[in-house]
Structure 1
Amino acid sequence: MIEKLKMQTPNITEQNMEQIAKLFPNVMTETQDKNGEVQKAIDFDLLKQSLSSVLVDDADERYRLDWPGKKASLLKANTPITKTLRPCREDSVNFDSTENVYIEGDNFEVLKILQESYLGKIKMIYIDPPYNTGKDFIYKDNFAAKKADYEEELGTTDEEDNKLFKNTDSNGRFHSDWLSMMYERLIVARDLLKDDGVIFISIDDNEVHNLREICDEVFGEENALEQMIWKKRYQGAKEKHLVAVHEYIFVYSKVKESIREIYVPATQEYIDRYYTHKDENYNSRGGYRTQPLEAGKSMDSRDNLTFSFEAPNGKLISPKRQWIWSKERVLDAIDHGEIGFTKDKYSPYIKQYLKDRKGVVRKTKKQTIIDNVYTQNGTKEMNDIFENLGIFPFPKPSFLLSQLIEFANTNKNDLILDFFSGSATTAHAVMQLNAEDKGTRKFIMVQLPEATDEKSEAYKAGYKNIAEIGKERIRRAGTNIVEDNQNKIGIDKLDIGFRVYKTDSSNMEEVYYHPEQLSQDNLFSLASNIKEERTPDDLLTQVILDLGLELNLPIEQKKMHGNSVFIVQTNALVACFDDNINIKIIDEIAQLQPFRVVFKDGGFSESKDRINLEERFKRLSPETLITVI
Structure 2
Amino acid sequence: MSEMEKITGNSPEAKSLDITQQNIEQLKQLFPDVFSENKIDFEALKAALGEEVDDSEERYNFTWKGKNKARQIAQTPSTGTLRPSKEESVNWDTTENLFIEGDNLEVLKLLQKSYHKKVKMIYIDPPYNTGNDFVYKDSFQDNLKNYLKTTGQLDNEGFKLSPNSDTSGRYHSAWLNMIYPRMKLARNLLKESGVLFMSIGQAELDNSVKVLDEIFGEDNRVSICTRLMKTGGQKGKFFSPNTDYVLVYAKNIEFLENFRGEISEELQDKVYNQIETEGERKGERYRSMGLFQPTLEKRPNQRYYIECPDGELVIPPGETFPHTKKDAEKILPVDGDGVWRWSCARYLEEISKGNILFKETSTSPLLTSSKSQSKWNIYTKIWLNERLESGSLPLDMFDKFENRHSSKELKALDIPFDFAKPTDLILYLMQIIDLNESDIVLDFFAGSATTAHSVMKFNSLTKDKKIRFFCIQLPERIDENSSIYKKGYKYITDIGISRIKKAATYIDNIQDNGFKIFRLDETNIRPWDADFDNLESVLRQATESIKENRSNEDVLYEIFLKYGYDLTTHVETEIINGKQVFVIGAGALIVCLDDGITSEVVEGIAKLKVELDTETTQVVFKDAGFADSNVKTNAIQILKQAGIDDVKSI
Q: Same fold (TM over 0.5)?
A: yes
2: CA distance, partners of 1:265 / 1:170: 45
Cα drift, residue 608 of structure 1: 2.5
Cα drift, residue 62 of structure 1: 3.8
Match of 1:531 among 532, 539, 547: 547
Over 3 Å counting, the alpha-carbon distance change for 1:230 and 1:269 in structure 2 is farther
Q: Hey, what does 1:290 align to over in structure 2?
A: 286
Cα drift, residue 583 of structure 1: 3.0
2: CA distance, partners of 1:76 / 1:446: 19
Over 3 Å counting, the alpha-carbon distance change for 1:372 and 1:525 in structure 2 is closer
1: CA distance, partners of 2:114 / 2:559: 11
Name the amino acid aligned to 1:599. Answer: F
Q: What secondary structure does 2:248 align onto?
A: strand
Higher Rg of the two aligned structures: 2
Q: Hey, what does 1:600 align to over in structure 2?
A: 622
1: CA distance, partners of 2:572 / 2:425: 37
Match of 1:478 among 487, 494, 504: 504
1: CA distance, partners of 2:565 / 2:72: 26
Cα drift, residue 586 of structure 1: 2.2
Residue 228, structure 1, aligned to residue 228, structure 2:
no
1: CA distance, partners of 2:381 / 2:456: 37
1: CA distance, partners of 2:222 / 2:494: 35
Asked if the contact 1:267–1:369 (Cα under 8 Å) also holds between the matched residues in 2, the reply is no
Over 3 Å counting, the alpha-carbon distance change for 1:417 and 1:289 in structure 2 is farther
Asked if the contact 2:274–2:287 (Cα under 8 Å) also holds between the matched residues in 1, the reply is no
Cα drift, residue 262 of structure 1: 2.5
Asked if the contact 2:574–2:582 (Cα under 8 Å) also holds between the matched residues in 1, the reply is yes
Q: Hey, what does 1:587 align to over in structure 2?
A: 606
Structure 2 residue runs of 5 or longer lacking an equivalent are 1-26, 32-50, 142-164, 276-283, 292-339, 357-379
2: CA distance, partners of 1:18 / 1:613: 38
Q: Hey, what does 2:472 align to over in structure 1?
A: 446
Name the amino acid aligned to 2:342. Answer: S
Name the amino acid aligned to 1:213. Answer: K
Counterparts of 1:480-495 in structure 2, within 5 Å, are 480-482=506-508, 485=509, 494-495=511-512
Percentage of identical aligned residues: 37
Structure 1 residue runs of 5 or longer lacking an equivalent are 1-15, 21-38, 45-59, 145-167, 279-287, 307-318, 326-346, 363-367, 486-490
Q: Hey, what does 2:362 align to over in structure 1?
A: none
2: CA distance, partners of 1:293 / 1:208: 40
Q: Hey, what does 1:148 align to over in structure 2?
A: none
Over 3 Å counting, the alpha-carbon distance change for 1:515 and 1:276 in structure 2 is farther
Q: C-alpha deviations, 1:124-166, integer Å up to 9, x for none?
A: 111100011123514222369xxxxxxxxxxxxxxxxxxxxxx
2: CA distance, partners of 1:384 / 1:276: 38
1: CA distance, partners of 2:624 / 2:28: 50
Aligned Cα RMSD in Å? Answer: 3.5
Q: What secondary structure does 1:626 align onto?
A: strand
Counterparts of 1:262-411 in structure 2, within 5 Å, are 262-263=259-260, 274=271, 290-291=286-287, 298=342, 301=345, 320-322=351-353, 350-352=383-385, 356=389, 358-360=391-393, 368-386=396-414, 391-411=416-436
Asked if the contact 2:423–2:454 (Cα under 8 Å) also holds between the matched residues in 1, the reply is yes
**Normalised by the size of structure 1, how large is the TM-score?**
0.72
Cα drift, residue 627 of structure 1: 1.7
Residue 628, structure 1, aligned to residue 649, structure 2:
yes
Name the amino acid aligned to 2:623. Answer: D
Q: What secondary structure does 1:117 align onto?
A: helix
1: CA distance, partners of 2:537 / 2:482: 52
Q: Hey, what does 2:481 align to over in structure 1?
A: 455
Q: Hey, what does 1:430 align to over in structure 2?
A: 455
Q: C-alpha deviations, 1:50-69, integer Å up to 9, x for none?
A: xxxxxxxxxx5642111111
Q: Hey, what does 1:573 align to over in structure 2?
A: 589
Residue 240, structure 1, aligned to residue 241, structure 2:
no
Over 3 Å counting, the alpha-carbon distance change for 1:421 and 1:553 in structure 2 is same
- Bigger Cα displacement from structure 2, 417-426 vs 231-240: 231-240
Cα drift, residue 532 of structure 1: 1.0
Q: What secondary structure does 2:115 align onto?
A: coil
2: CA distance, partners of 1:131 / 1:138: 10
1: CA distance, partners of 2:425 / 2:459: 15
Over 3 Å counting, the alpha-carbon distance change for 1:112 and 1:515 in structure 2 is farther
Cα drift, residue 610 of structure 1: 2.4
Name the amino acid aligned to 1:322. Answer: K
Q: C-alpha deviations, 1:381-438, integer Å up to 9, x for none?
A: 111122xxx6112311111001111233321321111000111111111111112112
- Bigger Cα displacement from structure 2, 130-139 vs 580-589: 580-589
Name the amino acid aligned to 1:615. Answer: Q
Name the amino acid aligned to 2:431. Answer: E
Residue 509, structure 1, aligned to residue 526, structure 2:
yes
1: CA distance, partners of 2:213 / 2:30: 17
Q: Hey, what does 1:112 align to over in structure 2?
A: 109
Q: Hey, what does 1:614 align to over in structure 2?
A: 636
Q: What secondary structure does 2:502 align onto?
A: helix
Q: What secondary structure does 1:263 align onto?
A: coil
2: CA distance, partners of 1:532 / 1:216: 46
Q: C-alpha deviations, 1:506-539, integer Å up to 9, x for none?
A: 111121x779998355423433021011111110
Over 3 Å counting, the alpha-carbon distance change for 1:431 and 1:572 in structure 2 is farther
Q: What secondary structure does 1:199 align onto?
A: strand
Q: Hey, what does 1:330 align to over in structure 2?
A: none
Over 3 Å counting, the alpha-carbon distance change for 1:114 and 1:514 in structure 2 is farther
Q: C-alpha deviations, 1:5-39, integer Å up to 9, x for none?
A: xxxxxxxxxxx99979xxxxxxxxxxxxxxxxxx8
Asked if the contact 1:301–1:322 (Cα under 8 Å) also holds between the matched residues in 2, the reply is no
Asked if the contact 2:271–2:287 (Cα under 8 Å) also holds between the matched residues in 1, the reply is no
Q: What secondary structure does 2:184 align onto?
A: helix
Counterparts of 1:140-151 in structure 2, within 5 Å, are 140-142=137-139
Asked if the contact 1:293–1:323 (Cα under 8 Å) also holds between the matched residues in 2, the reply is no
Asked if the contact 2:569–2:585 (Cα under 8 Å) also holds between the matched residues in 1, the reply is yes
Over 3 Å counting, the alpha-carbon distance change for 1:139 and 1:274 in structure 2 is farther
1: CA distance, partners of 2:438 / 2:417: 30
